[in-house]
Amino acid sequence: LKRLLEDLQIWLEEMFTFTSEQLTNIRAVARDLIYDPTRLHFKSIDVDIIKALCLEKVTMRFSNVFGSPAREAKLVSTVKRIASSVQNGYRQDV
């Protein structure tokens, strides 16, 4: 029974997806950071996005993500993808 629960937990971690609200929040934070007039470095914006989400995890509805290594890894991957998209949009604007 214990083994079955462990398998179920692993399966649930693999099937985890972000809600549309969470994805919108990631994109909003990315846009806020990329258009910050005091920002000089854009390469590490994904790290700054994750820090901002961690600081505001309750407000941004990410309290179910932080604390779970599998979900945090998925967050890093998603943030990198969204940050790249926002950076490309910023380049086109400039």
pTM check: above 0.85: no
Residue 12: the pLDDT is 76
Q: pLDDT band at residue 6, thresholds of 50, 70 and 90?
A: confident
Containing H/E element for 56? none
Residue 94 scores a pLDDT above 80: no
Half-sphere exposure of 15 (CA within 13 A, CB side): 6
CA angle 64, 9, 50 (to 5 degrees): 30
What is the spatial distance between Cα 53 and Cα 13, in angstroms, rounded to a whole number?
A: 20
Q: What is the pLDDT of residues 48-75, one digit of tens each?
A: 999 999 999 999 999 989 988 888 999 9
Residue of 93, 77, 91 whose CA lies nearest to 42: 91
Residue 61: the pLDDT is 93
